[in-house]
Homo-oligomer: A and B are copies of this chain.
Amino acid sequence: MFVADVIGTLVASIKDPALEGIKLLLVQPLDEALAPVGSPLVATDTIGIGVGERAFCVLGREAALALPDTFAPVDAAIVGIVDRVDVAAKS
C-alpha cells in the first residue's frame, strides 16, 4: 500500500456498470518525507474521505476487494484515512 493525498475528483457519466455509484478520487502518492512522488492515480473511495485528507491506498486486483462488487474492474482503492505516520530517524 502507499500513502497519498486526496487532491481531486473525477466525474464520468459513461462507465462500466460495476462502477455505478462508486466515488472516484484523484490521489497523489507521497514519499517518506510526505512529498509528492510520481503521477496521481484514480482510486475508488468506500470509506468516505474528502479532498485534502491523507489516505493509504491499495493497488491491483486486491483493490476491488474494498468494493461491494469484488468483480468490478478497478485497480486502486482508498482503504484507510491516515492519522499519523512515524518515520524513525536514520541511524
Number of copies: 5
Chain A, residues 1-29, CB within 8 Å of chain B (1/0): the string is: 11100011111111110110000101011
B14-A81 in contact (CB<8A): yes
A56-B8 in contact (CB<8A): no
Q: Interface majority SS on A: helix, strand, loop or mixed? A: mixed
A13→B86 CA distance, assembly (Å): 15
Number of interface residues of A (CB under 8 A): 63
Q: Which of B37, B61, B65, B72 contacts A60 (CB 8 A)?
A: B61
Contacts A9-B86, A32-B8: A75 and B47 contacting too (C-beta < 8 A)?
no
A11-B84 in contact (CB<8A): yes
